[in-house]
Amino acid sequence: MSFSIDGKTAIVTGAANGIGLAIARHFLDKGARVMFADMDEDRLDAEVGEDARGDGPVRMFAGDLREKLTIANLLSATIDAFDRVDILVNASRMVKLSDPLKLGEDCVDEMLQQNLLTALRATQLTAKRMIQQAETLGEDSEAPAGTIINLSSVAVRRTQARLMGYSIACAGVEQMTRSMALALAPHRIRVNAVALGSVMSASLQAALKDDAEARGRIVAATPLARIAPASEVVETVQYLASDAASFVTGQIIQIDGGRGIVDSAMPPAH
């Protein structure tokens, strides 16, 4: 099986910064046609605006994906530009600290809306289009119809009270991944997720600016004793998007430097 995604069309949300941007750029380098989607229009324009205004393999879409109509418009823009969609990467995420004991300040609603429901609605609408594309190949075709990759976090398994809302949303993303994998398997659409830990996302980068000691705590809790750049995530996402993973669905792959195998109460010794 091939790791190639050459000629495929991908939508990557959260593509203006951090991990989403790294994935979108990597896909582009590997020959895919990519729709960069994010609510930060200025940042999108700074990153890919000039390329997106041409007739090449880059397009950009700015909008609030928490709105169902915006997701529908994103899909329409992708089809108008590239005629089809083969890959969806739900990389749009938000991390916010909160007080779990204060009603209205626990951030649960906000995290569910931003991190779970946005990915779910994008998955539902994009999968519908993938199914329509597959139907044109005929009932006897066994060609893959599409693949969807979600981003989660080791926060699902490593509890921090101030990340309660974020953790709940990520747990929902992982269960959604498994449920959609079952629902879409008969349509030859695979759904998987990557759970990140100790990876330099845009949110983590912002947090480190405000907490000088945070980097040391993260490194101390990571067996491989470092924070990985976003570039170390992209190859795994490409694998899940490629035919090399043609028999992989409903899986959560952790990229966390070993954090998931350490007792959360005991930082690893070095």
pLDDT for 263:
62
pLDDT at 150 over 90: yes
- Token readout for 50 is 């000039």
Average pLDDT on 104-113 reads 87
Determine phi and psi for 139, rounding to 5 degrees. Answer: -65, -25
Higher per-residue confidence, 144 vs 184: 184
- CB contact at 8 A, 50 and 95: no
pLDDT at 270 over 80: no
Q: What percent of the chain has pLDDT over 90?
A: 65
pLDDT for 254:
95
Average pLDDT on 215-244 reads 92
Higher per-residue confidence, 138 vs 58: 58
103/154 Cα distance (integer angstroms)? 25
pLDDT for 58:
97
Categorize the per-residue pLDDT at 45 as very low, low, confident or very high, splitting at 50, 70 and 90: very high
195/46 Cα distance (integer angstroms)? 28
pLDDT at 268 over 60: no
Q: Which residues contact 159 (CB under 8 A, 6 or more apart)?
A: 167, 264
Average pLDDT on 34-61 reads 95
pLDDT at 144 over 60: yes
What is the DSSP code string of 103-127? Answer: TT-S-HHHHIIIIIIHHHHHHHHHH
What is the amino acid identity at position 162?
A: R
80/154 Cα distance (integer angstroms)? 37
- Token readout for 177 is 């991944």
CB atoms near residue 252 (< 10 Å): 17
Average pLDDT on 122-126 reads 98
What is the amino acid identity at position 73?
A: N
Task: State which H helix or E strand residue 61 sits in.
Answer: strand 58-62
Higher per-residue confidence, 263 vs 205: 205
Domains of the chain are 9-257 (3.40.50.720)
Indicate the range of 67-71, 166-170, 241-245, 258-262 predicted with least confidence: 258-262
pLDDT at 139 over 80: no
pLDDT at 265 over 70: no
Indicate the range of 22-31, 39-48, 159-168, 232-241 predicted with least confidence: 159-168
In the predicted model, what is the mean pLDDT of the chain?
90
Average pLDDT on 126-132 reads 97
Higher per-residue confidence, 61 vs 156: 61
Average pLDDT on 9-17 reads 97
pLDDT at 93 over 80: yes
pLDDT at 160 over 90: no
CB atoms near residue 74 (< 10 Å): 22
Average pLDDT on 237-246 reads 97
CB atoms near residue 270 (< 10 Å): 8
